[in-house]
């Protein structure tokens, strides 16, 4: 039957960790409900899942789980879906005329695979070349954190980080490299605990071989304190 075929295609898409767009797929009514309304609905859904699995939610250890999971989904691990939480990235004039690339490396990435809702954990390395404007270092970390806190595909996350910094800095000369482990690969399916996934997005001057090579050499530097 065609329906069975469609479901098989969808399963295959998820198992192969393929994304369909560089934009997060949101419905037009995504923000119609308040955060508290979403928590109440998700709490009931989580309760139903756990009961369906056969768990006794009268147990002291489990009775608060539906509410904890619902709050975690809305306020924490998927908080990046809320546009009101988008970090404001103040920029400043490059008064010291620094003209080389700036690299912020080893930024912690905590995200969630949108295919199995399992964690993605890794590091992001960001670079840009100023065209007269600079941004605070912590804002780069916050941009990574904001776009990570949503159901994600690593390729999309990498692109979204670059696009946002290009917008903030008004330059195409931005790059991002992410190296991360996907628990949907490490803990289920093939269960390969050693593998990681590397993605990159290079804009402007970073498309040039020499500039890209310089960035990758910076990333390889062993920083210890």
Q: Where are the beta strands (DSSP E) in the chain?
A: 91-93, 101-113, 119-129, 133-135, 151-152, 174-182, 197-202
Catalytic residue among 115, 160, 164, 176: 115
Catalytic residue, chosen from 114, 125, 152, 176, is 114
Q: What is the pLDDT of residues 13-36, one digit of tens each?
A: 556 555 567 899 999 999 999 999
Task: Name the active-site residue from 104, 125, 152, 154.
Answer: 154
Closest by CA position to 127, among listed 143, 103, 144, 105: 103
51: annotated active-site residue: no
Residue found by looking up tokens 């670059």 in the block: 162
Token pair 């490396």: residue:
105
* Residue pointed to by tokens 């546009």: 83
Q: pLDDT at position 8, please?
A: 58
The one catalytic residue among 104, 116, 125, 201:
116
For residue 114, indicate whether it is catalytic: yes
Annotation marks residue 154 as catalytic: yes
Determine which one of 113, 125, 160, 201 is catalytic. Answer: 113
pLDDT in tens, the chain (225 residues): 554 555 455 565 556 555 567 899 999 999 999 999 999 999 999 999 999 999 999 999 999 999 999 999 999 999 999 999 999 878 899 888 899 999 999 999 999 999 999 999 999 999 999 999 999 999 999 999 999 999 999 999 999 999 999 999 999 999 999 999 999 999 998 899 889 999 999 999 999 999 999 999 999 988 777
Which of 104, 164, 182, 201 is flagged as catalytic? 182
Residue 7, pLDDT score: 47
Active site residue 176: no
Q: Which of 123, 109, 100 is nearest to 173 (CA)?
A: 100
Rounded to 5°, angle at Cα 128 from 126 and 129: 160
* Active-site residue identified among 125, 152, 184, 201: 184
Residue with tokens 């605990």: 193
Our answer to whether residue 17 is catalytic in this structure is no
């Amino acid at each position: 039957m065609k329906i069975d075929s469609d479901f098989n295609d969808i399963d295959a898409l998820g198992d192969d960790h393929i994304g369909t767009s560089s934009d997060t797929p949101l419905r037009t009514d995504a923000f119609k409900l308040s955060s508290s309304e979403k928590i109440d609905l998700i709490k009931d859904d989580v309760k139903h899942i756990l009961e369906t699995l056969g768990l006794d939610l009268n147990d002291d250890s489990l009775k608060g789980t539906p509410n904890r999971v619902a709050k975690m989904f809305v306020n924490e691990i998927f908080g990046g879906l809320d546009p009101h939480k988008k970090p404001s990235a103040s920029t400043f004039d490059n008064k010291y005329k620094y003209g080389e690339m700036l690299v912020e490396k080893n930024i912690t990435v905590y995200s969630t695979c949108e295919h199995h809702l399992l964690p993605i954990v890794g590091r992001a390395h960001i670079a840009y070349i100023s065209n007269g404007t600079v941004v605070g270092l912590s804002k780069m970390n916050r941009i990574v954190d904001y776009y990570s806190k949503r159901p994600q595909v690593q390729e999309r996350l990498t692109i979204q980080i670059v696009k946002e910094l290009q917008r903030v800095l008004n330059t195409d000369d931005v790059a991002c490299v992410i190296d991360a482990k996907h628990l949907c690969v490490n803990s289920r399916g093939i269960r390969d605990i050693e593998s990681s996934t590397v993605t990159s997005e290079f804009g402007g001057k970073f498309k040039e071989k020499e500039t890209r090579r310089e960035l990758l050499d910076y990333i390889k530097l062993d920083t210890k304190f």
